[in-house]
Chain A
């Protein structure tokens, strides 16, 4: 157990050092947060308050709806990108073979590769919410327990999707299609910019299946002061999704690594 923690810590430090080694990119990623909030605030000025943006039946500002969604949808982006990018980077830098030649178990390697990314995303989300609060996002009713529960459940539920993306990157040697598909699917069907009820019924069903839809429901409820029991259905759905998808995704990742070992393509990129 101590060895596993030490390895996870080493991977976390490596990823943090690599991030800080690109100071320009690091600075721009924070600047981008301000731009995101300002755009959401301007668009919300054009859209009148509606009960569809909340769960209490009372009219809710569009900014309240979209700011919470865009703040937390980045956890799905982090999951989907970080695992696959970690594999892709290792292929490009030629470190994948050396890492796999160490006595480190595959789940430790793949799951640890997103710890820094989730931490960094958490910090960015806090800053995003602080800036959004300056522009009018209400934090007065927030239920921190609900937010914390959904934060944990969201990470658990979206991580398997990231591991699956990493398995695909191991085989197809590219992450571009994964990022594009995941981002657009979340934005369109996950209810990031529009409430799910605004979509046709068939698309609502697609959205209902996605973990991010239930994650965003939970976060919006947390910001409206709803306790966990008020969104228990979403919480259970995320829990079940993670329980089913996590072992499946780790199995798929192990299969992808095994295929690369059989075909001798671990070092190819």
Chain B
């Protein structure tokens, strides 16, 4: 990658183990135990790339986005956005970002959507006709024009999330940090938001997007590259297709045979990389659903195992492609 839009180098982050008054007292007494949430995180995102942060809840995805948005500071490490050091020049870094948090409360409930956008638009440096034009453009992108003069407090969860997206786009930022943007959105609008992110913002306008999600299909479908985050560490990073192969994902086979006996089952279970076997009896014969780690020789061993005295009783043999969930389970040990 010759021209990264974003770099993160060896970032560590921890939080006090005890919050509130007890935490303050411990800190004052010099006994501040901390809970580490990110460990030596390094990554780089290219200009115009849609980069996914995929991980289970509490993995550290949102923490990483907040670090990049200057809302928290790391103990160690360096981050740049568009060549600007986030820690040394936070205002310069913030001029380039649009943040879409997962917190749908982040508006003034008593104000209308328009009044909210006018306020946040002014804070990112817009005013006058330019502000009005940007509000019009962004509100159309998220299909909320007819609700523009309704109070935010009356919005549904999905509408709140879409307004969050409109706000993130107001300043026409070079890079967008999206924290679970399709959470709580109905399927139709979720698909529209995904199309907006991929086709319009990334492919159309060349924006860089960092998308935190715990939806595997979303990451696999949208992202150019995905970093799988687990317990504060990046445990896998690459294009989704390469992750399938590189991580020796679980391979599934659907084997249909004439009949079954204990010897065949025993042979199948000793195949190298064997993980799971489920037997199903159908009108076409006995169907074995076999899961194997993707190891050299495993497939040949399975073919031998389902043969009887060298005579194959095989009727059908179908590999089933690895699912993203298999990759996710494997790298996160779930």
Contact = CB atoms under 8 A, between A and B. Distances in A.
Interface string A225-269: 000000000000000000000000000000000100111111110
B15 to A, nearest CB: 5
A18 B108 contact: yes
A22 B72 contact: no
A130 interface: no
Interface of A: 3, 6-7, 9-11, 13-14, 17-18, 21-22, 93-95, 97-105, 171-172, 258, 261-268
8 A-B pairs with least C-beta separation: A10-B122, A94-B105, A21-B110, A102-B123, A94-B106, A103-B94, A6-B127, A264-B15
Interface stretch (B112-120, B251-259, B289-297, B324-332): B112-120
Contact of B94 (A3, A10, A101): A101
Contact of B16 (A17, A105, A171, A263): A263
Nearest to B115: A17
Interface of A is mostly: helix
Contacts of A17: 110-111, 115
B71 interface: yes
Contact of B91 (A97, A105, A172): A105
Interface string B5-35: 0000000000110010101100000000000
Interface stretch (B48-56, B96-104, B186-194, B306-314): B96-104
Nearest to A263: B16
Interface size class of B (residues with CB under 8 A): 35 or more
Nearest to A14: B119
A263 B17 CA distance: 10
Nearest to A100: B71
Contacts of A102: 94, 120, 123-124
A10 B103 contact: no
Contacts of A9: 122
Nearest to B111: A17
Most buried by A among B63, B92, B108: B108
B110 to A, nearest CB: 4
A134 B17 CA distance: 60
A266 B94 contact: no
A9 to B, nearest CB: 7
A182 to B, nearest CB: 21
